[in-house]
Amino acid sequence: MTRIAPTALYQEVAERLRQRIFAHELTPGTWIDEQKLAEQYGISRTPLREALKVLASEGLVDLKPRRGCYVTEISRQDLDDIFPLMALLEGRCAADAVNRAKPIEIRELKKIHESLENTAQEGRIDAFFEANQAFHKRIQELANNRWLLSVIQDLRKVLKLSRLHSLSLEGRLQQSLDEHRAIMAAFEAGDAVKAEQLMHDHLLSGREALVKMDIKNGKAA
């Protein structure tokens, strides 16, 4: 019996570690014990080490030679650097997507947007979060630029390191929804320039909310 998707062990391990890091089960700054982890997963250290190399070049962990592996700590400066960059990139995505999308694809996007409306009204935070991700991802796919997509996804992984990032949406659910409505309208109107502008500002306003939380909680990242 040959597997349909022949993924190597190190890839599966990398994915499991990613999930644990995103879930903040492995918090930034903590040391990753290779031996213990290998034992936990019931594998040898070799594929684990290879997985850590992959995570390191994704920026999720820091690999200090002869000193071990640590979950990356993201600073406020990093967030200040990444958010404008994401705004730029996702803005471009939106513009390209508007220009390329066929009517049927716009309708499909609209469906995702509607599930966003529904989950918001029903107050299902986690489902809203999911739909939000799906909406953004779909637009990125519509832009049809493999490299733009991969750059954005890599940066998003890094953003996920910040606990505040996932929490920030909750506090501005209504605002986020409004912004999404406007973006959707620009798509339906075929206005690429406006879609770019709106998406750009949408990302930056996410950063704004995060700054406010940051101040309230009085701690960094």
Partner DNA sequence: GTGCATAATACTTTATCCATAATTATGGAA
Partner DNA sequence: TTCCATAATTATGGATAAAGTATTATGCAC
User: What CA–CA distance (Å, rounded) separates 53 from 173?
Assistant: 37
Site string for a second copy, 41-80 (x = CB under 8 A): -----x--xx--xx-xxxx---x-xx-----------x--
**Which of these, 109, 91, 101, lies nearest to 199 by C-alpha position?**
91
Among 11, 30, 175, 197, binds a second copy (CB under 8 A): 11
Name residue 82's beta-bridge partners.
none
The number of residues making up the chain comes to 221
Cβ–Cβ < 8 Å for 55, 14: yes
For position 33 contacting DNA by CB under 7 A, the verdict is yes
Structure tokens belonging to residue 41? 């997963």
For position 149 contacting DNA by CB under 7 A, the verdict is no
- The listed partner (DNA, a second copy, none) that binds 88, CB under 5 to 8 Å by sort, is a second copy
User: What CA–CA distance (Å, rounded) separates 98 from 71?
Assistant: 38
The distance of closest approach from Cβ of residue 79 to a second copy in the complex, given in angstroms and rounded to an integer, is: 10
**Which of these, 180, 195, 186, lies nearest to 112 by C-alpha position?**
180
Structure tokens belonging to residue 117? 């409306």
User: What CA–CA distance (Å, rounded) separates 193 from 216?
Assistant: 35
For position 63 contacting DNA by CB under 7 A, the verdict is yes
- The listed partner (a second copy, DNA, none) that binds 57, CB under 5 to 8 Å by sort, is a second copy
Structure tokens belonging to residue 202? 């949408």
Reduce the DSSP state of residue 74 to 3 states and report it. Answer: coil
Site string for DNA, 64-103 (x = CB under 7 A): xxxxxx----------------------------------
For position 85 contacting a second copy by CB under 8 A, the verdict is yes
Structure tokens belonging to residue 89? 């990139």
- The listed partner (a second copy, DNA, none) that binds 33, CB under 5 to 8 Å by sort, is DNA
For position 34 contacting DNA by CB under 7 A, the verdict is yes
Taking phi first (over 0 means left), then psi (-120 to 50 degrees means alpha), and beta for anything else, what does residue 42 get? left
For position 46 contacting DNA by CB under 7 A, the verdict is yes
- Which residue ranges make up the site for DNA (CB under 7 A)? 2-3, 6, 8-10, 31-35, 43-47, 49-50, 63-69
The residue ranges that bind a second copy (CB under 8 A) are 6-8, 10-11, 46, 49-50, 53-54, 56-59, 63, 65-66, 78, 81-82, 85, 88-89, 92, 145-148, 150-151, 154-155, 158
